[in-house]
Amino acid sequence: MAKIKVKFACMECGTESPKWLGKCPGCGAWNSMVEEKETVVKTTGAAGAAVFQTKEKPRSIIHIESDQEPRIDTKLGELNRVLGGGVVPGSLILVGGDPGIGKSTLLLQASHSLAASGMRILYISGEESVRQTRLRADRLGSLSEQLYVLCETNVESIREAIESVEPALVVIDSIQTVFDPNVQSAPGSVAQVRECTSHFMRIAKIKGVATVLVGHVTKEGAIAGPRMLEHMVDCVLYFEGERHHTYRLLRAVKNRFGSTNEIGIFEMGESGLREVANPSELFLSERPLGVAGSTVVASMEGTRPVLVELQALVASTNFPSPRRMSAGIDHHRMALIIAVLEKRMGMFLQNQDAYLNVAGGVKLDEPAVDLAAAVSIASSFRDAPTRPFDIIFGEVGLTGEVRAVSRAEQRVREAEKLGFKRVIMPENSLKGWKPPSNIEIIGVSTVAEALRAALG
């Protein structure tokens, strides 16, 4: 008889322990250790050997063909951008996001686009029946003859379905509902998620079938289950957004076949997700003009410049310690900018509450937004509005200097395309390229020069 091994595993990070612990030694989470019974079973069947064994012999790397296999075009430009140009055949992709954010909607629309182009797609749902999936497809208009739907959670049955259908792409929605009958644990446990992902990884690599896994997230926003799940897959995508906003951001945090700096922007509507071709125009559509504390920054998201509005509000407080709150920008970076304004510019902000917000729910994490944030805070503190057609970007140092940033030419070109008249930017970023003639460029080297140019 097979020996049953009892262990305790953390549901957050996958750390294993022979006994129960109140606090996980790996990630520090409390009450996250759960009991698991694992039965070691050897796979000796012909089916298992056909799937998990190959007859290839080791070869010298210089004798391996280097021809790149063409990527699968999903017909969704924003999704292709995040993936690095399309889906790589044989890759394993993990898509995570909050419940109800639109993960299943995005993948069903992408499956329909691929099926409409003649590819055979297999959509496996462990949370919905085939009729419920059909109702959702009717609402999205995603009906195609080459789109096959299956409601199944047994990994062996899913493997048989893949062999019978022979699809070009497989979607598993979601990995937390799939179970391996050889593992004596509940679906969604650490052992089940690890083993099932390992099954799909072998199928994808050996058969060359691109596989997309949908993963639930925890309340902290991380992929539920062990973090080793992210190490096993080739690409990890996060679908972000607020339920009260119609815009969704698709961001890559890991990509073996492309850049992790690209983002895709979608708009949620009654008929599903719609691609946003010009995000800068979208984020600036409701921008107020002539209001103190409002500036526009040119931020780079991968290879695409995005113009976003920054809003700051500085108000006096009666409490001994003022509040510092930010949305869309790291609050530590905001505290650094306020300290520079106090020390280098002489602004007395110790009795002022400061709030900083990025309009549209976008998260900006590059240092090029420092100068725009400083101008926004100073504008609200002095109650002096900036010019409505100014673009500001640059990195701020602790001594009050403005440092150069990358891709300055692309930021200026995007501002020119949207009708802005003036750009306040680092002086050192003007080297090596010729600015456009119909837009005024002001190079600054300190924060004081930027405030004089922006606020007069």
| Helix axis angle, 155-165 to 190-207, nearest 10° | 20
Question: Tokens standing for 8?
Answer: 């305790």
Neighbours of 384 (CB within 10 A): 14
Q: Are 229 and 198 in contact (CB under 8 A)?
A: no
Q: What is the pLDDT of residue 381?
A: 96
Residue 152 Cα distances to 122, 155, 156, 381, angstroms: 12, 8, 10, 59
Q: Which residue numbers belong to the known binding site?
A: 97-104
Residue 51 Cα to chain centre, angstroms: 32
Query: Is 3.40.50.2300 the CATH classification of the domain at 72-277?
Result: no
Three-class secondary structure of residue 71 per DSSP: coil
Q: What is the pLDDT of residue 46?
A: 47
Q: Are 234 and 205 in contact (CB under 8 A)?
A: no
The C-alpha atoms of residue 422 and residue 439 are separated, in whole angstroms, by 6
Parse the chain into domains and list their residue ranges: 1-47, 72-277, 282-455
Q: Which residue numbers belong to the known binding site for ATP?
A: 97-104
Question: Tokens standing for 355?
Answer: 């709030």
Q: Which of 239, 50, 269, 230 is nearest to 156 (CA)?
A: 50
- The length of the chain, given as a count of residues: 456
Grouped pLDDT means (10 residues each) for the chain, 456 residues: 72 81 87 74 48 68 76 92 92 90 93 94 94 93 93 94 95 92 81 89 92 80 64 90 78 89 86 86 84 94 88 92 93 95 94 92 89 96 94 96 94 91 95 90 96 92
Q: What is the pTM of this model?
A: 0.77
The C-alpha atoms of residue 333 and residue 328 are separated, in whole angstroms, by 11
Peptide bond into 285 cis (omega under 30): no
The C-alpha atoms of residue 271 and residue 102 are separated, in whole angstroms, by 12
May I ask the CATH class of domain 282-455?
Answer: alpha beta
Instruction: Say which DSSP state 179 is in.
Output: B
What sign has the CA pseudo-torsion 391, 397, 400, 403? negative
Q: What is the pLDDT of residue 48?
A: 45
The C-alpha atoms of residue 275 and residue 77 are separated, in whole angstroms, by 8
Three-class secondary structure of residue 261 per DSSP: coil
| Helix axis angle, 370-382 to 331-345, nearest 10° | 60
Which helix (H) or strand (E) element contains residue 426?
strand 422-426
